[in-house]
């Protein structure tokens, strides 16, 4: 009886562990082209999927990632996201591709994290200072100055950033390990929440003057992807 109980417990643990390490669900067929029309959709897996017999090469294609983004905003950065909404054939493949343009002399992709993905950053042009910070209690900072051809990994879920420290515009490509990695820009979330967080919370948490907190909460916080 003890052996049976042990095997049952082991099976339950194995199922729980497999669920814990699974990020995006694995494909259940060769491909699953995302479809917004549920009336003609079949083979549900992640998103509603187009009938494979109706798929075309265009479902797996995107043109325009060579076009520079507009960096004339407060941060001097623009992010162009290529996900399953852009390339429907990416659905269920657990991949998102991003082009990041940084303005010269300080274009910044501010501290943020992806709650559902790790990120691999490849610099194509310019000189980028990139780094990430580990979680509690150590908060270790890992940074590198990246030049064209350099690759840097931001581990799953950790806060990271990039800053163009060159005198010319910079460009990077990022690959994320989820079809829906999510992004949480720290300053936007903390000071730009809707409705605003009680200033007493932020005053104490960040060791700031309450008037400064109120001022920060009234600012417009830029979304780099817009």
Is 109 annotated for ligand binding? yes
How many CB atoms lie under 10 A from the CB of residue 222? 18
3-state secondary structure (DSSP) of residue 91? coil
Is 136 annotated for ligand binding? no
CA distances from 195 to 42, 192, 204, 210, 218 (A): 39, 8, 19, 17, 11
- The sign of the CA dihedral 48, 49, 51, 54 is positive
Is 160 annotated for ligand binding? yes
Return the structure tokens found at 65.
């990632």
Is 139 annotated for ligand binding? no
Separation CA 174–CA 84 (nearest Å): 15
Separation CA 6–CA 9 (nearest Å): 5
Bind-site residues: 109, 112, 114, 119, 160
Bind-site residues for Mn(2+): 112, 114, 119, 160
Bind-site residues for oxalate: 109, 114, 119
């Amino acid at each position: 009886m003890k052996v049976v109980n042990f095997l049952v417990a082991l099976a339950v643990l194995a199922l729980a562990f497999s669920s814990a390490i699974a990020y995006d669900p694995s494909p259940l067929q060769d491909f699953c082209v995302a479809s917004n029309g549920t009336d003609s959709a079949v083979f549900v897996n992640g998103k509603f999927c187009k009938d494979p017999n109706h798929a075309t090469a265009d479902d797996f294609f995107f043109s325009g990632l060579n076009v520079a983004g507009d960096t004339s905003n407060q941060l001097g950065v623009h992010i162009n996201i290529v996900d399953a909404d852009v390339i429907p054939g990416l659905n269920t493949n657990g991949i998102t591709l991003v082009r990041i343009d940084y303005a010269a002399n300080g274009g910044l992709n501010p501290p943020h994290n992806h709650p559902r993905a790790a990120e691999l950053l490849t610099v194509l042009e310019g000189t980028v200072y990139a780094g990430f910070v580990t979680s509690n209690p150590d908060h270790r900072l890992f940074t590198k100055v990246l030049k064209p051809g350099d690759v840097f990994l931001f581990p799953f879920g950790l806060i990271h950033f990039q800053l163009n420290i060159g005198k010319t515009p910079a460009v990077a490509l990022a690959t994320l390990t989820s079809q829906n990695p999510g992004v949480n820009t720290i300053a936007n979330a903390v000071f730009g929440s809707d409705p605003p967080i009680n200033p007493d919370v932020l005053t104490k948490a960040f060791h700031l003057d309450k008037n400064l907190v109120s001022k920060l909460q009234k600012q417009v916080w830029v979304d780099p992807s817009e």
